[in-house]
C-alpha cells in the first residue's frame, strides 16, 4: 500500500471536566522523527503517544500538539490565602489611623488584592489523562492515516504513469540499438576496402564488428531494467512501508540507464536516454514523498 508521508489528523475526547484535542502534523523525512509537546506532568501520556505513533507510522517527521480546555460547567474552586488577607487587613487598620477610609471592604476590593484569591487548578488523575490521550490520539492517527493513504493512492497512479512513459523510451532504445552495429559495419567495410581484399577483409571485418558489438551491447542492461519495472509494480502493491525499497529500485534503474547512455552509439537512443533520465528524476522526486 502506498502511503504519503504528509498528512494531518485531529482527535477530540470530552470528559466531565475537560475537552482534550490532539493534532498530528506529518511531513517528509528520511527516518521517523517524533516531536511531542505535552505538559511536564504528562510524561507517562507522552510515552504512550510516542509508542502509538511509532506503531502506526514508519517514516516522516511527526509533530503532536495537545490542547486542554476546561469545561465551563465543571466545578471550580477558589483558594483563599488567609494569612495574606489578614496581613492586608492589619495594614488597612494601620492606615485607617492616619487616613480616612471605609471600615468594610467590598468584594471588588478583595479580588483586586494580589494573590489573595486564587482559582485552584484542575487536578487530573493519571488514569484520566492516559484514557483521554489514548482516545483522542487513536482518532487523530486514524484521520492521519486516511489522509496519507488517500494521497498515497494518487502517488501510486503518478508512479505507474511515469513507469509507462519510461518503458516507452526503453522500448525505443531496444529497437534502435542494433542499428549502431550495422552502421559501424558499413563504415568499417568502406575503410577496409582500400587496404585488404577477399577473405582477409572478411575475417578482419567480422572480428572488428564482433568486438564493437560486444562493447556497445546493452542487452543485459535492458533486461535488468525490465526486471526493475516488475519489482516496481510489485512493490507498489505491498502493504508495508515501501519508500526506502522504492528509492533503492530508482537507484538501480538510474545505474542501468547511465550505463546504456555510456555505451550508446545512436542519435535516436541518445535522445531516448535523455528523456528516460528526465522521467526517472521525476519518479525519484515522487518517491521522496512515499512512506
Angle formed at CA 223 by CA 171 and CA 229, multiple of 5 degrees = 75
What are the cell numbers at 54? 511509532
Q: What is the mean pLDDT of the chain?
A: 82
Domains annotated on the chain, with CATH: 7-74+124-149 (3.30.230.10), 78-119 (no CATH), 151-287 (1.20.120)
pLDDT tens per residue, range 177-222: 776 556 655 565 555 555 555 554 566 656 665 555 556 677 788 8
Q: Cell 542487452 maps to which residue?
A: 219
The predicted pLDDT at position 251 comes to 96
The predicted pLDDT at position 185 comes to 58
pLDDT tens per residue, range 87-113: 767 777 666 676 665 656 666 666 666
- Per-residue pLDDT averaged across 237-266, rounded? 90
**Model confidence pTM above 0.85:** no
Residue 23, Cα to own-chain centre: how many angstroms? Answer: 17
Question: Rounded to 5 degrees, what are φ and ψ at 197?
Answer: -150, 160
pLDDT tens per residue, range 115-158: 666 655 656 778 888 999 999 999 999 999 999 999 999 999 99
The Cα–Cα gap between 274 and 151 comes to 29
Angle formed at CA 74 by CA 70 and CA 78, multiple of 5 degrees = 90
Amino acid at each position: 500500500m502506498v502511503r504519503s508521508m504528509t498528512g494531518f489528523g485531529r482527535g477530540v475526547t470530552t470528559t466531565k471536566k475537560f475537552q482534550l484535542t490532539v493534532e498530528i502534523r506529518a511531513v517528509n523525512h528520511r527516518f521517523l522523527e517524533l516531536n511531542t509537546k505535552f505538559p511536564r506532568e504528562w510524561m507517562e501520556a507522552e510515552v504512550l503517544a510516542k509508542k502509538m505513533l511509532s506503531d502506526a507510522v514508519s517514516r516522516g517527521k511527526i509533530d503532536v500538539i495537545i490542547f486542554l480546555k476546561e469545561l465551563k460547567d465543571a466545578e471550580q474552586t477558589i483558594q483563599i490565602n488567609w494569612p495574606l488577607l489578614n496581613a492586608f487587613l492589619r495594614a488597612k487598620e494601620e492606615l485607617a489611623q492616619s487616613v480616612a477610609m471605609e471600615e468594610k471592604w467590598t468584594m471588588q476590593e478583595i479580588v483586586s488584592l494580589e494573590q489573595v484569591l486564587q482559582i485552584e487548578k484542575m487536578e487530573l488523575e493519571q488514569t484520566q489523562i492516559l484514557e483521554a490521550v489514548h482516545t483522542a490520539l487513536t482518532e487523530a492517527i486514524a484521520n492521519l492515516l486516511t489522509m496519507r493513504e488517500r494521497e498515497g493512492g494518487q502517488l501510486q497512479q503518478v508512479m505507474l504513469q511515469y513507469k509507462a512513459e519510461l518503458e516507452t523510451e526503453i522500448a525505443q532504445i531496444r529497437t534502435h540499438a542494433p542499428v549502431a552495429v550495422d552502421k559501424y559495419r558499413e563504415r568499417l567495410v568502406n575503410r577496409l576496402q582500400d587496404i585488404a581484399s577477399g577473405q582477409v577483409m572478411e575475417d578482419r571485418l567480422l572480428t572488428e564488428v564482433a568486438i564493437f558489438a560486444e562493447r556497445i551491447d546493452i542487452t543485459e542492461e535492458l533486461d535488468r531494467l525490465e526486471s526493475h519495472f516488475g519489482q516496481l509494480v510489485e512493490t507498489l502493491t505491498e502493504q508495508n512501508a515501501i519508500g526506502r525499497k522504492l528509492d533503492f529500485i530508482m537507484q538501480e534503474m538510474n545505474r542501468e540507464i547511465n550505463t546504456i547512455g555510456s555505451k550508446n552509439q545512436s542519435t535516436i537512443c541518445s535522445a531516448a536516454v535523455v528523456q528516460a533520465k528526465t522521467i526517472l528524476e521525476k519518479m525519484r522526486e515522487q518517491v521522496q514523498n512515499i512512506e
